[in-house]
Structure formats: structure tokens, C-alpha cells
Amino acid sequence: MSAARVRIGGARIGLDDVFARMPFRFGSVTIEAAVAATLALELTVDGRKITGYASEILAYKWFDKRPEKSAAQNVADLLSILQDAVSRAETFPEGDIFTLWQRLDAEMRGAADGQGHNALMAGYGTSMVERAIIDGVGRALGLTVHQMLKGGTTGLAPGDVFPELADMVPGAALGSPPRDRVAVRHTVGMLDPIDDADLPREKRLNDGLPETLADYLQDGIRYLKVKIAGDTDADLARLRRIASLMGRTDNTIRLTLDGNEQFASVDDFAGFMEAVRRDPDLEALRRAILFVEQPIERGAALLGHLDPRALDAIGLPLLIDESDDAPDAFRRAIDLGYRGVSHKNCKGILRSVMNAMLARYHGILRGVSLFQSAEDLSVLPVAGLNADLAVVAALGIPHVERNAHHFFNGMAHLSPRDVSAGLADHPDLYQPDARVGGRLAIRDGMLSIGSLQRPGMGFPPPDMEARVAPRDWTFDRLERRTN
């Protein structure tokens, strides 16, 4: 299959206000409201005009965690980056997806420092354009994401970025066939109620959905992602309560730890894990941990080789997330002693495919287990969530962190047209809910995602008319509803 030829035309951005079902804390921020951006990008694909789409929350205090930046400034920065990426891409000559991505990625990263933005933020703008192009090409040619990535439609030439991959085809690192089911790895945020002791009956939402971790475990969840704060005593006390719940369920529970950049060095995190190891109440929980996500602050995480003695004390593979801010980040991390990298659509699809190829190549070469995880930046129905899961299915990752189903109100932020289309096209993934239109359908801890194998990135065209133009949107729209 030859690479599609793409010319980028005009663009439109629409915004949705999204209000939390319950507060969500990660790192130093507690989120009660957010805004999601949807991009509609006009394309000409092999001579055919089509529109491609991409959608993502403008996640403040994740891309840029500098304390001097307010949430409103973070959102304004991310919106500006998206608009800059679109403006640049509109000037590019016709090319294949890989060539367009390479050029945009180079320009956005080259401009980031002068604009006061970090590389992760620059990559967000590139990834939105990249996703919209992939979506549009799939719609124009009648191909799924998996078919495009495996068959050469994107023009991906990994050897141009990593010479060792020159003789490896992308399909060697993809799932075959794409997954039609994936397990939910439920996020346990630092403010989340563990059991009824944290959430008395009079304070419950009573919206028919699980509210405490105990509720989710009773509902069949088998994978957890537990966030830690870097406060050893508080973290250990919280882990003991989680371990107690795990010991009372009939299902085998596996979990990951998310360090959220709360540790200054690998030695600091090794000290924490030694405290976990010494605690007899945490023995079963420790043995259930699969890996640890980004415990070290991004500025220090890739500065040098990880001390083998510290890694032995930790006893678990470490994964980069926030430090995965450039196409070569995982390649550098492998040499330093990391074993995993997160997939997130907001960091780029072609990057994730190349990371999967690096994991396969270097895992075999070095005789170690290298891997990708699937993590969630609160992707929302329908466009953002479907696109994320379509790529997870193509990569063949068996479980995926989700949190938007817990912290946000399903399809409440969407127009009636978006709700109807999402429910009609994806009855395996969503179910009707009279209060919010529809919501994610988690059955026995699993998501059924077979309906995502459709042209494009797995979702019906979003209702752009129902969204607010950036010029008409201000951050205080979120504050008015949460004060």
C-alpha cells in the first residue's frame, strides 16, 4: 500500500466546557472543570477533499507544571500552541503523513523555547494536527488506523529517525489483529475516596455510578493505577487501605504506581520503595505492582544512568511519561535503564508506533523486557476517547488507564447530535444515560472496542456548530460554574 498524498487546507477549532463529576487531584492541582478543544482540518487526500478531526482536553498543570503559571495561563498557552501548529501546517506543500509530521514537529520544537513553552507542550500542538490528518486520510481512503499504520499509508520511515529500525516494518510491532477488548486500569487519585469511611452516605452523588475504590472493585475492575504524592507516611497509610481492599476481593488485582514527578532522584524513590518493602501489610500489594510511572521530576529523569543499586532496591521497571517529550526520548531512556514508555495520543501516534518498534528491537537485542503502557490524560467521549482507544487497539496494549469516566460526567459536555451519533455508532463502548446522554460502558472491568474499526480514527464527525470558537471563550466560564 503506497503512502497517501496530503495537502492541508483551512482549519476550525471548537471548545467545550467540561465540568467534573467529582474533584480530581494529581500532583499539586485539583481539577473541577476543564475545556476540551476539537480541531476540524480540511484536507485533500490523493485528490479528494475531506475533513479530519482531533480532540483533547487542554490539561492544565500536566504539560506545564511551573508553579508561577496559573491554570488560565496554561490553557491559553495550549490553545495558542494549537493555533500556531495549525497556522504552520497550512503553509506546507503536499506530502505524506510522516513527512508532514516531521516538518511540523521540527518547527514546533524549534520555536518552543522562544515562545516560553516546553517540548511536551510543543508536541501537543503537533499531535493534534497529526491526528486530524490521520483521521482524514482514513475517512478518504476507507481505512482504519490499524490498516493505515500497518499498510504503509502514513509513509512512516522509522529508519530516518532511528537507523537501527531501517529494516523493521511498523507492522512487526503492532497488534495483529487489533484488539477488540481492553481492560480498564482504574485511576485512584490522591483525593479519591477509598471506601465508605471517606464518603458517608449523605455526601454521595447517588448517580448510579461507582464512587469509591471499593465500589469499583465490586464492579469487576482488575487493574488499578495508584497515584502517590511523595509524602512517605501519608502514601504508606493510603496504600495500606488499598491493600486491605484488594485482599477482600475475589478477583486478582494488578496495579501500577504513578509517581507524578514527586521524587528528586531515583535514590529518593528507592528509599520510598524500601519503606514499602519493610511494611508487612504491603507485601501482597507490592507483589501486584506491574511498573512505576515517572517517579522522577522531568528535569532530572533523563540526566544520567539510573543507579543499578537503586533499581535493585526498587525491584520494578520504571516508565517515562512526562519525560517522553521528544521523538528520541524513549530511545535515550532505554540506554539510561528505563524499561517502559507511555502511549498517549497527545504525544503523537507515529511516535508511539516508533516507540513500540524500539521496545521490540532493543528488547530482543538486550535480552530485557521493554514495553509500552496506555495512559489517560482524561480523554473524553466521543472523538478523543475513541481515537485514543483505536490507537491502543492497534498497538495491542491489553489494559489502559482510564479516569474520565470517573471524574467527568460522561457525554454531558456534548451536543445532542454528538450524543446520538456516539451511541448509534458505538453501542459496544457507550450506553445511554438519561442524565448525561450517554457514558462509557465498563462490563466486568473491560471495554468492548470492536466498533472502533471504522474509517478514520474510530468516531463519527463531531458537531462543530455546537462548539464555542476560541475568540468567544474565556477561562472564567469554568470558574463561574465551580465557585
Q: Which positions of the chain have pLDDT values less than 70?
A: 26-28, 480-483
Distance from C-alpha of 351 to C-alpha of 326, rounded to nearest angstrom: 9
Q: What is the reported pLDDT for 28?
A: 67
Distance from C-alpha of 40 to C-alpha of 461, rounded to nearest angstrom: 9
Distance from C-alpha of 166 to C-alpha of 132, rounded to nearest angstrom: 27
Write out the three cell numbers for 99: 513527512
CA distances from 64 to 68, 70, 73 (A): 10, 10, 10
Q: Would you call 346 exposed, middle or buried from its count of C-beta atoms within 10 A (0-12, 13-18, 19+)? A: buried
Q: Would you call 416 exposed, middle or buried from its count of C-beta atoms within 10 A (0-12, 13-18, 19+)? A: exposed
Q: Is the dihedral of CA 216, 217, 221, 223 positive or negative?
A: positive
Q: What is the reported pLDDT for 26?
A: 63
Write out the three cell numbers for 250: 475475589
Q: What is the reported pLDDT for 479?
A: 84
- pTM of the model as a whole: 0.96
Q: What is the reported pLDDT for 198?
A: 95
Q: What is the reported pLDDT for 483?
A: 46
Give the CA angle between residues 112, 115, 120 to the nearest 5°: 35
Q: What is the reported pLDDT for 31?
A: 86
